[in-house]
Amino acid sequence: MFVTQLKAFFAVARLGSVTQAARQLGLSQPTVTAQIKALEAHYGVELFRRQGGRLSLSDEGIRLLPAVDLQLQQEINVELAMRQAGEGVRGHLRLGATSPFYVLALMRQFGAAYPLVDVSISTGNSLQMVDALLEFKVDLATSSHLEQDQRLHRQLLGKDPLVLLLPRDHALATQRAVSLQALRGLDLIMRERGSITRRVTEQAFGEHGVAPRRVLEIASREAIREAVMAGMGVSVFARHETGTHPDLVALHFIETLPMIEEYLYCLCERRGSRLIDAFLGMLGSDASI
């Protein structure tokens, strides 16, 4: 119960919201609130200041947060060690990926070398995947965002150009390459904010004075591809994410745009973990950064 209460405190402190903490922990909001209140009542300490329905860390909460973080990290390490106990390399490796493209081949290679290890993959945008790694929800995470956090070890997976994705019957589809200026006045379908592709696209549009007619925001690549095929607009994708559907065309841009770089991250303190080290070993030491 104590560890569960600490997790509730840490999640609310980090996210700044009981609602978001409850969603992350898979609990109801009243349960999270009750766990924090029980922790405060048992030890006679005020962890949060409550003002008009808003929570902010108290001085005691700020002082205790690093120790709670360390305690939860130690719990994760113990749980991981127990999962890896026994003969051979076994356990469960959790991957978080902005796109499965770069890691699918690695997963096949890893599965062949370590058949006793279960591998699961969850997806999201770059910032979501790094957050999942820092919150110990995944063991490794891919991201297009160049993180400078000293707690993270990273390896470069690859680089990809941006392309314009449009339906095959679109007026631009017969061209070999397209200028950004051709997108003036078109409906543009984009990922949610936090997507590196979206950030780079908006930066390029601003630098070249291009404005779409309107922006339609859709959270997943798969749904964006379906929307493009349905004629709802065009989209800018990293080349490897476009797929090979016969009703879609991917055109390179005439302008030189930034490449989308994809990195694989893990926590430095877990770099020596048997499963994590084995997976990173599939990349080769020359990819380390």
In CATH, what number is assigned to the domain containing residue 16?
A: 1.10.10.10
Tell me, yes or no, whether 47 and 189 share the same domain. Answer: no
Tell me, yes or no, whether 179 and 196 share the same domain. Answer: yes
Task: Please report which confidence band the pLDDT of residue 87 belongs to, taking 50, 70 and 90 as the band edges.
Answer: very low
Task: In whole angstroms, give the CA distance from residue 252 to residue 270.
Answer: 39
Residues contacting residue 101 through CB under 8 Å, at least 6 positions apart: 240, 241
Tell me, yes or no, whether 142 and 205 share the same domain. Answer: no
- Contact in structure between 265 and 128 (CB atoms under 8 Å): no
Last residue of a domain, one of 19, 54, 77: 77
Tell me, yes or no, whether 36 and 150 share the same domain. Answer: no
The neighbouring-strand residues paired with 177 are 252
Task: Please report which confidence band the pLDDT of residue 80 belongs to, taking 50, 70 and 90 as the band edges.
Answer: low
Condensed to tens digits (0 to 9), the pLDDT of residues 179-213 reads 999 999 899 999 888 778 888 899 999 999 998 99
Tell me, yes or no, whether 89 and 58 share the same domain. Answer: no
In the numeric block, which tokens belong to residue 82? 């127990």
Tell me, yes or no, whether 135 and 211 share the same domain. Answer: no
Average the pLDDT over 215-236 and give the result.
91
Residue type, 80: L
Tell me, yes or no, whether 150 and 280 share the same domain. Answer: yes
Tell me, yes or no, whether 139 and 268 share the same domain. Answer: yes
Average the pLDDT over 25-44 and give the result.
90
Q: Strands (DSSP E) along 128-175, which ranges?
A: 140-143, 152-160, 162-167
CATH number at residue 126: 3.40.190.10
Last residue of a domain, one of 31, 57, 77: 77
Tell me, yes or no, whether 191 and 229 share the same domain. Answer: yes
More confident of the two residues 195 and 169: 169
Tell me, yes or no, whether 40 and 181 share the same domain. Answer: no
Write phi, then psi, for 158 (nearest 5 degrees).
Answer: 170, 175
Tell me, yes or no, whether 155 and 168 share the same domain. Answer: no
More confident of the two residues 82 and 69: 69
Tell me, yes or no, whether 154 and 266 share the same domain. Answer: yes
Condensed to tens digits (0 to 9), the pLDDT of residues 90-142 reads 788 999 988 777 788 888 888 888 888 899 998 888 888 888 998 889 999 99
Domain hosting residue 15, numbered range: 2-77
pLDDT the model gives residue 259: 87
Average the pLDDT over 56-66 and give the result.
89
Q: How many domains does the chain have?
A: 3
